[in-house]
Amino acid sequence: MDFTTLKFEAAEGIGLVTISRPQALNALNSKFFEDMDALLTELAARDDIRVVILTGEGKAFVAGADISEMAHKTKAEARKFSFAGQKTFRTLERLDKPVIAAVNGFALGGGCELALACDIRIASAKAKFGQPEVNLGLIPGYAGTQRLPRLIGLGHALHLILSGEMIGAEEALRLGLVQKVVEPEQLLPAARELAAAIAAKGPHAVRLAKRVIRRGLMMDFEAGCALEADKFGSLFEDAEAVEGMTAFLEKRAPKWPS
């Protein structure tokens, strides 16, 4: 499948998605959302891909939404543009495979929101994060007001969104916005290493763990525990779990059922 704003390659169970509008610092436009929706549909149907890495081409991950497209929108058109981004990012978040954001540069506005919709974030030491929408008289429109406080806490989220402050990778690590910071040349190797480690685990268990964690965040604690127990029990009738436990007892590497 060919895309205007994305590049895609797959090998050894890992899909690499590169946002490719470097001349615009990978700013998000309507065509990006169209391309990403199509790619996510393809990824959801591919059993050969177990983990996805998302990164940007050039010196930015995503520098924000495309202001040249946004500037002349009406109220109704702007709401539609916001809903389109929210829908795409929700589909990404719900993808039945772990998604690792390899943040190589600017992740601002919609770019930060895109990273937030991924499951794990690894950042280059040169990466910059922020929600600078208030500088334009706007607020985040792709669920940044909802995901950021859930991830880093209310106070930190209010600070970043209300001030529009841009922070570096080490501060993002301290806040819990990213899970790891590496030198720029090590970014993709580190992301691939993590992806390979996840891809080597029981694929059904990995998918189910992501689903239970994501759904549990929207439940109260007792309901989340009930969901966990139900899904934990369901795996005991799964050939994958039988193989995993048998391999452990036999002190060998598991051979996961295809």
Q: Which of 12, 42, 133, 183 is catalytic?
A: 133
Q: Are strands 166-168 and 120-124 parallel, antiparallel or unpaired?
A: unpaired
How far is it, in rounded angstroms, from Cα 206 to Cα 211? 9
Q: Which of 69, 113, 193, 228 is catalytic?
A: 113
How far is it, in rounded angstroms, from Cα 15 to Cα 215? 24
How far is it, in rounded angstroms, from Cα 31 to Cα 243? 44
The secondary element (H helix, E strand) that includes residue 171 is: helix 169-175
Phi, psi of 97 (to 5 degrees): -145, 145
113 counts as catalytic: yes
CB contact set of 53 (below 8 Å; sequence gap of 6+): 14, 15, 16, 17, 99, 100, 102, 188, 191, 192, 195
How far is it, in rounded angstroms, from Cα 87 to Cα 81? 10
Q: Which of 227, 94, 213, 112 is nearest to 167 (CA)?
A: 112
34 counts as catalytic: no
3-class DSSP state for residue 8?
strand
Active site residues: 113, 133
